[in-house]
Structure 1
């Protein structure tokens, strides 16, 4: 059986390599490596016109919305907190369109960190703009335990409390339409969200690409493979 094609969204930023200093579509190598280790093929999806989202999703077997900049508060009807980072408007527009297209098409969807937050916003939810205790230091991935909610898709993949790699200062506040919390940190922070079955739609607040636990990505790849086989 051929491996499923899984699109991963990217940053759009100024970057330097060799003799060049140019705008670049960026993605930490840990993301495609996570997909590859999980058994899928990774395709980078740099920001594009939102009108191209449905056509893009139509070529994929699954979608991963990667981490990155804070979601612009106007997207969920809030004023920016002084601690909220600068907006990435091109990413916001593109990735929200991709999420809408993926939900409409019924393809498996995994949101990672910012991607989970954007999934919540896409479905009408809101965010806490600053949270202490979930970032070890600037540029340093920390770890903390998360506990699954019994009976959820996430709990079926990871049934026990697990230590996860984490780097975030925002989190879900009000859940979006039909979303349920499927994991929590010790302080009660929502650490995973999902749509009820039969949809395979999951968001995790942590960074699985920075760890060794492949159960979440293998769940995504299995769902993508099943959809590709049916197609």
Structure 2
């Protein structure tokens, strides 16, 4: 199997509570870590920062852009909808810098939920700030703090279809925002039954795949296995093997 590739996971940057403590924290749900490690990678939590982006990527063989708080509409030139989360400028700026550079350097990248939205924004696209207003239902996030399930159809001939096939019957979903206009160079790859976009990828990159659902919450780890496999090849090439 060879060396385990190092997979960075972007982290939430917000107050958290444990025991008697409540402090600012850089954290990720542990399902991301377990998914990476079950797929054969070694997980490394990456706090948001606009500094040291290349130094960070120098030690990573792949990156997972995790879910979390809504992206500031200022980043895509929109007015704030009343349903949009308060801005978290530090995380937005740090993750955008990391994602732009990861794409430039062709580092294998899996973008999940917020990460999927970030991929679109970084490429000049924008977001639908409250999807229920567009699709007419709450099926993508029925209850805060719990995952909803729905099916997605996947476009044939895409990297995503190579990994998970033509249909996924029960994705784990928790979002109220979606993609508006699609960013430059990105290909639409998957849709929910209501027609909302659930997948994007950049076919010019070795692995730049985004999904709006949460594969880390599924028993099916094929997306993480595909990322880790590509990261292993990337690591081998960098080391000249």
Q: Do the two structures share a fold, i.e. TM-score over 0.5?
A: yes
The equivalent residue for 1:18 is 19
Instruction: Report matched runs for 1:193-204 at 5 Å.
Output: 193-204=200-211
- TM-score under structure 2 length normalisation: 0.93
The equivalent residue for 2:222 is 215
Aligned CA distance change for structure 1 residues 228 and 220 (closer, same or farther; 3 Å): same
1:39 aligns with 2:45: no
Per-residue deviation, 1:160 = 2.8
User: Which secondary structure state, in structure 2, belongs to the residue aligned with residue 93 of structure 1?
Assistant: helix
> For residues 88 and 203 of structure 1, what CA distance do their matches in structure 2 show?
21
User: Which secondary structure state, in structure 2, belongs to the residue aligned with residue 32 of structure 1?
Assistant: helix
> For residues 19 and 130 of structure 1, what CA distance do their matches in structure 2 show?
36
Instruction: Report matched runs for 1:101-180 at 5 Å.
Output: 101-132=101-132, 133=138, 134-162=140-168, 163-180=170-187
User: Which secondary structure state, in structure 2, belongs to the residue aligned with residue 175 of structure 1?
Assistant: coil
Per-residue deviation, 1:6 = 0.3
Gaps of 5+ in 1: none
> For residues 230 and 119 of structure 2, what CA distance do their matches in structure 1 show?
18
Q: Deviations over 1:167-194 (max 9, x none)?
A: 0000111111100111111111110100
1:227 aligns with 2:198: no
User: Which secondary structure state, in structure 1, belongs to the residue aligned with residue 224 of structure 2?
Assistant: helix
Question: Could you tell me whether the CA contact under 8 Å between 2:65 and 2:111 is conserved in 1?
Answer: yes
> For residues 191 and 103 of structure 1, what CA distance do their matches in structure 2 show?
20
> For residues 202 and 16 of structure 2, what CA distance do their matches in structure 1 show?
36
> For residues 199 and 107 of structure 2, what CA distance do their matches in structure 1 show?
19
Question: Could you tell me whether the CA contact under 8 Å between 2:15 and 2:24 is conserved in 1?
Answer: yes
Stretch of structure 1 that moved more, 12-21 or 62-71: 12-21
Question: Could you tell me whether the CA contact under 8 Å between 2:103 and 2:205 is conserved in 1?
Answer: no
User: Which secondary structure state, in structure 2, belongs to the residue aligned with residue 31 of structure 1?
Assistant: helix
Gaps of 5+ in 2: 133-137
> For residues 19 and 221 of structure 2, what CA distance do their matches in structure 1 show?
33
Per-residue deviation, 1:198 = 4.6
> For residues 88 and 67 of structure 1, what CA distance do their matches in structure 2 show?
13
Per-residue deviation, 1:2 = 0.3
Deviating runs (4+, > 4 A) in structure 1?
none
The equivalent residue for 2:135 is none
> For residues 223 and 122 of structure 1, what CA distance do their matches in structure 2 show?
22
Per-residue deviation, 1:88 = 1.2
The equivalent residue for 1:66 is 66
The equivalent residue for 1:190 is 197
> For residues 69 and 131 of structure 1, what CA distance do their matches in structure 2 show?
15
